[in-house]
A = this chain, B = another copy of it.
Amino acid sequence: MHDAPALTPTPSSATQAAFDRLCEAHPMLIGIEQAGNVIPGMRRDLVLHAGPPITWDRMESAMRASILGGLVFEGLCETIEEAEALAGSGKISFAPAHDHAAAGAMAGTITASMPVFIVEERNSGLRSYVGVNEGLGKALRFGANGPEVLERLRWMRDGLYPLLKQALAISGPMDLKLMIAEALRRGDEVHNRNKAATSQFFREIALALVATRAPHDELEKALRFISRNDHFFLSLSIAHAKAVSLYVEELGAGDIVTVMAGNGVEVGIRVASLGKRWFTAPASVADVNLFEGHGLDEATPTMGDSYITESIGLGAFALAAAPAISAFIGGTVEELIARSERMRDITVDEHRHFRIPALGYKGVPSGIDVRKVVATGINPLINTGIASRVPGVGQIGAGVQQIPMGCFTAALDALDRQS
A→B interface (CB under 8 Å):
182, 185-188, 195-196, 199-200, 202-204, 206-207, 210-211, 213, 216, 219-220, 223-224, 227, 323-324, 326, 332-334, 357-358, 360-361
Given A324-B185, A333-B358, A357-B324, A211 and B200 touching (CB < 8 A)? no
Q: 5 tightest A-B contacts by CB?
A: A199-B199, A323-B357, A185-B324, A324-B357, A186-B186
Q: Is the interface of A mostly helix, strand, loop or mixed?
A: helix
| Pair A223/B202 contact, Cβ less than 8 Å | no
Chain B contacts for A334, CB-based, 8 A: 360
| Pair A206/B186 contact, Cβ less than 8 Å | no
Chain B contacts for A185, CB-based, 8 A: 187, 324
Chain B contacts for A360, CB-based, 8 A: 332-334
Min Cβ gap A343→B in Å is: 18
* CA–CA, A368 and B356, complex, Å: 31
Q: A326's closest neighbor in chain B, by CB?
A: B357
| Pair A187/B357 contact, Cβ less than 8 Å | yes
* CA–CA, A220 and B203, complex, Å: 12
| Pair B216/A213 contact, Cβ less than 8 Å | yes
* CA–CA, A405 and B141, complex, Å: 60
| Pair B207/A220 contact, Cβ less than 8 Å | yes
Min Cβ gap A227→B in Å is: 5
Chain B contacts for A332, CB-based, 8 A: 360
Min Cβ gap A378→B in Å is: 24
Min Cβ gap A339→B in Å is: 15
